[in-house]
Amino acid sequence: MTESRHRGLWKPRASRAVAELLVIFVGVTAAFLVEGHRERLNEGRELRQAKEGILAELARYQVRAVEHADSIDSSIDRWRTVDENGGQAIPGYYRIPGAPYPPTAAWDAAVASGVASMFDPELRLALGYFYTEFTGIHQNYVRRLEFIEAMIMPTSKGGSSAFYDSSGRLRPEFEVQMSLLAEFGADVRKLAGEASLLEKWLRSGHRPE
């Protein structure tokens, strides 16, 4: 009799324990699901913000790079026109107004935060190469700028003849400077085209053909 009574008491307790465990399990599972959903929403928002920032940088570079390249070509062409007509002129040069480096904050932030890892691997590689390339190209330009500010701008105070030797020929260092500057102009013009392709890729999610 006593044994039957104990058995009868054990069953409701076991049922309550199972029910309580089930409630805890459901609650924990629901919490994980909610947290996972929240994390996905946050990741989606961070990815959109990163894309918008990078798109803005790419769009600005397309415009500014072409403007810089046009100004460089015009400066060199003006010198060449005078030279071909037997005259003497200050060698073509160009100083980018403001910072000589293009902005990279959006891409740098995406890499530092880990958001860049959410991009398609091929796109991430292409963006990384692009930003590395144009940073290096602008570092080369800074060396041109140092020469311009140290050699061309002060020398121009003495008039255009100060850039020529006794035979009336443009001194070699200024010929080289214009050649390197023209190379920089061609490089940034090419990068503007690459920025356009990357912008389309980011917007569509597919690599442009």
pLDDT value for 14: 56
β partners of residue 164? 170
pLDDT value for 178: 96
β partners of residue 170? 164
Per the prediction, the chain carries an average pLDDT of 85
Mean of the pLDDT values across residues 110-115? 90
pLDDT value for 41: 42
Where do the structural domains in the chain lie, given as residue ranges? 2-204
Mean of the pLDDT values across residues 139-149? 93
146 pLDDT more than 90 = yes
Mean of the pLDDT values across residues 59-84? 95
Please give the model's pTM, rounded to 2 decimal places: 0.77
Mean of the pLDDT values across residues 88-95? 96
Q: For residues 170 and 88, what is the distance between their CA atoms, to the nearest angstrom?
A: 8
Q: Which one, of 142, 145, 144, 138, lies nearest residue 187 by Cα?
A: 138
The two tokens of residue 195 are 């920025």
Mean of the pLDDT values across residues 22-46? 56
